[in-house]
Chains A and B, each alone.
Chain A
Amino acid sequence: MKVSCAIAITMAALFAGTDLSAEESDYGKDRSSGYLTGSFETSTSLYNEDDKTSAVVPDGHFGSNNYLKLDYYKGSFSAGVQMEAYSPVLVGYPSDLKGAALTNYFARWNDDRFSITAGTFYDQFGSGLLFRSWEDRALGLNNALLGARLTYSFNDIVSVKAIWGMPRFGMKFSETQVKGADVSFALSNLAGWQNIYWALEASVMDRYEALDDQRRLDGCSPNTTGWSARTNFEHKGFFLKAEYVDAGQKYYYNTSYSGEGQMYHRKRGNAQLIETGYNGNGLGVNVALRRLEWMDSKVVTGSNSTVNMLNYVPAMCTQYTYMLTTLHPYGARTGEISSRFTNSGEIGGQIDVFYNFRRGTKIGGKRGMKVHANFSTYHTIAQEGTFKAGNMLFRDLSVDVERQWSRKFKSTVLWSMQEYSPKYGANKTTWLSNIFVADLLYKFNSSFSTRLELQYLTTQEDNKDWMAALVEVSFAPNWSIYASDMYNHGMTKVHYYNGGVSYTKSRTRVALSYGRFREGLLCSGGVCRQIPAYTGANLSVTMSF
């Protein structure tokens, strides 16, 4: 049944996809009847045994994630549905995703000032530290609220929104209830200042979840009420954003609870975030400072699923994409309690500098040069309730330089020095690695290009040194082929090879790949999930219509 539903969704999308050309030629018709738009995505894998990595192989050696989304717009009215089918879910994704269902559905009406949404919706307050509902298919995350939202805005001066709903968890909506309101007041627009933007913002949110016996015994409250206050200032490229969050009473589970005393401990969630910098004249500088304390917010209590979250507490550091730079990504710490180690959160920050050496300058040369540097550092909180930094959690210093040497040749070189705590700050031990990347692009002509990545990681710890290479050949406008290998020659002597081909036509992309993947963290948007080792072939299709 699950497979047949997945096939049916695929068929529906393919039917829609085959009519793309007809749809394109229909532009210009009278659209008084509104219009329908949608997208389809499948990622389907066949897994095989792999003794080298002890790869996970699910029953049936098969996994398939499928999404079909349809939206209808007519004037101020819009409505949409999303269907999902997992037959079964791909390896490494949350096990709560199973079967096929109409998971999301909404109807919305909006005009210049008001909007009302009934059904499922996504939203966030401020930076999301207090509340965020969103979808990230790479993580298997969708915590849309099922309920209602009202928004009102007046002349770009005041905007207000109120939400109520039950967040999605897995394929269903939880019994947790979320109520909240957010207001933004643009003082500069009220005063009529032309070159200054200054806004004051605030939010409040209440989360209700019925208590079980243990939490009732431990004196927990079913409600957690939090608030945040924010300011947002911009003047001629200089910006300052500040946010304070009081996330309310949290109940943290003692991971080494032995049956005596309290299982849940009451903590006060709070966070402070400052972002400031300057953007202008080819220069971009931004500094972010953030402190988190007991900021975990779950959809449901008792599940350790990595997608069980109701707020957005991402790692604020560079998110790399090169293979060897992502071996040990950082995930933000939101507090943990055990008999061995208790840490209330993290404190740290980052600075980014981007500069564009313009064309025709001495350093920029004929075609310009782009330079970027980042420094990020995060520590545990040494003493709860203070700003004292404790043991190091993560540190990264990186520099990358991109230069267009000629119309045909472009290079990017990157150096990153990463240091992280393998025990998440429980002791002072850290592992240090230096990573070097060269990314070279050569265009033979307007439709034929190649790209080569060469990477090296050197470290005295963990699995010692790694090397990696990737070759990509592209034939515009449709075809691209790549092959890569990531090899740990320092210790395990395992090759993580990968190869694939993709074909793109208009808004449809089909990609077929085969490869071996290592166990580790997969991160998207600063949020990470643990994935096991696996080997197999993958067919990925994305299309919109």
Chain B
Amino acid sequence: MRTFLLSIALFISAVCAAQVPSVTVENAKGEAFDTKTLLEEGTPMIISFWSTSCKPCIRELDAVYDALPDWLEEADFRVVAVSTDDSRLLAKAKSFAQGRGWGEDFQLLFDKNQDFMRAMNVSVVPHVFVVDGKGKVVYSHTSYVPGNEIELFEAIKKCSK
């Protein structure tokens, strides 16, 4: 068993970077949305997994929302906020995002059975990814404390160049 697992570990170390897989989630209207279409614009993006009961997630997205006008002056990118709330909180998550103004600046997606979250191997939220214009994940970070958004912006600036 141990040999098997160690072999897997060694294999992992030899493989290439993660990308954005094709998973069906919902958009703000409730329509099915294939996550691979996120790559069609060919611009860098922040993908942030959040939920209504995760306070650090909300603090992180608020920090990004507040800084966004300044950040967009220095880099060209989008923010995709993916709610991982179950169907129980799906309607609330949509209202919540609207009540914080996120709907105006972020692309909102809703992953009610956590399929996208699992495909991106997100164990806990908040978890952010920076994906470059070619679809490669160039940065990711789990959890949030105030100030982490600076590192996030540095990552997005690098792939906007």
Contact = CB atoms under 8 A, between A and B. Distances in A.
Interface of A: 4-5, 8-9, 11-16, 19, 22-24, 26-31, 33-39, 41, 67-71, 73, 78, 83, 100, 110, 112, 122-124, 126-128, 132, 134-135, 137, 153, 156, 159, 184, 186, 189, 197, 199, 232, 234, 237, 239, 241, 275, 277, 279-280, 282-286, 288, 312, 314-316, 319-321, 352-356, 358, 368, 370, 372, 404, 441, 443, 446-449, 474-477, 479-480, 502, 504, 506-509, 525-526, 542-545
Contacts of A284: 94-99
Contacts of B21: 73, 78
25 contacts: A15-B6, A16-B12, A19-B13, A22-B13, A27-B17, A27-B138, A38-B121, A122-B118, A134-B113, A186-B31, A197-B29, A199-B31, A277-B95, A284-B94, A286-B95, A354-B95, A355-B99, A356-B100, A370-B100, A476-B145, A476-B146, A476-B147, A506-B141, A525-B88, A542-B142
A128 B86 contact: yes
Interface string B12-36: 1101111101100000111110100
Contacts of B66: 404
Nearest to B21: A73
Nearest to B140: A507
Contact of A15 (B9, B18, B118, B136): B9
Nearest 5 pairs of A and B residues by beta carbon: A354-B99, A476-B147, A284-B95, A15-B9, A474-B145
Contact of B101 (A277, A315, A356): A356
B141 A507 contact: yes
A132 B100 CA distance: 30
Q: Which of B55, B95, B96 has the most CB of A within 10 A?
A: B95
Interface in B123-161: 123-124, 127, 132, 136-143, 145-148, 150-151
Contacts of B150: 446-447, 476-477
Contacts of A543: 123
Given A31-B19, A197-B31, A502 B143 contact: yes
Contacts of A26: 16-17
A316 B13 contact: no
Contacts of A30: 16
B146 A279 contact: no
A29 to B, nearest CB: 5
A545 B127 CA distance: 13
A275 B91 CA distance: 7
B114 A312 contact: no
Contacts of B6: 8, 11-12, 15
Nearest to A508: B142
Contact of A312 (B1, B86, B99): B86
Contacts of B98: 237, 279-280, 282-284, 354, 356
A352 B1 contact: no
B145 A477 contact: yes
A477 B113 contact: no
Contacts, number: 258
A277 B97 CA distance: 14
A237 B30 CA distance: 11
Given A11-B9, A449-B145, A279 B86 contact: no
A446 B147 CA distance: 5
B8 A27 contact: no
A36 B12 contact: yes
A479 B1 CA distance: 35
Given A8-B2, A480-B145, 8 more contacts: A8-B5, A15-B12, A122-B114, A127-B88, A312-B88, A354-B95, A506-B142, A507-B141
Interface size class on chain B is: 35 or more
B12 A122 contact: no
Contacts of B2: 4, 8, 11
Contacts of B121: 37-39, 69, 71, 544-545
Contacts of A508: 142
B17 to A, nearest CB: 4
A70 B12 contact: yes
B115 A122 contact: yes
Contacts of B10: 15
A12 B113 contact: no
A441 to B, nearest CB: 7
Contacts of B146: 441, 443, 449, 474, 476
Contact of A197 (B30, B88, B92): B30
Contact of A277 (B5, B9, B91, B127): B91
Interface in B68-104: 86-92, 94-101, 103
Contacts of A38: 12, 121
A315 B112 CA distance: 16
A153 B34 CA distance: 11
Contacts of A67: 123
Contacts of A280: 98, 103
B157 to A, nearest CB: 16
A151 to B, nearest CB: 8
B87 A128 contact: yes
Nearest to B138: A27
Contacts of A525: 86, 88
A131 to B, nearest CB: 11
B32 A156 contact: yes
Contacts of A237: 98
Contacts of B30: 197, 199, 232, 234, 239, 241
Contacts of B19: 31, 35, 73
Contacts of B39: none
Contacts of B34: 112
Contacts of A288: 91
B127 to A, nearest CB: 7
A307 to B, nearest CB: 15
A340 B135 CA distance: 61
Contacts of A122: 113-115, 118
Given A8-B2, A28-B136, A156 B12 contact: no
A449 B59 CA distance: 13
A165 to B, nearest CB: 15
Contact of A33 (B16, B22, B59, B100): B16
Nearest to B23: A110
B13 to A, nearest CB: 4
Contacts of B124: 41, 509, 542
Contact of A12 (B8, B15, B91): B8
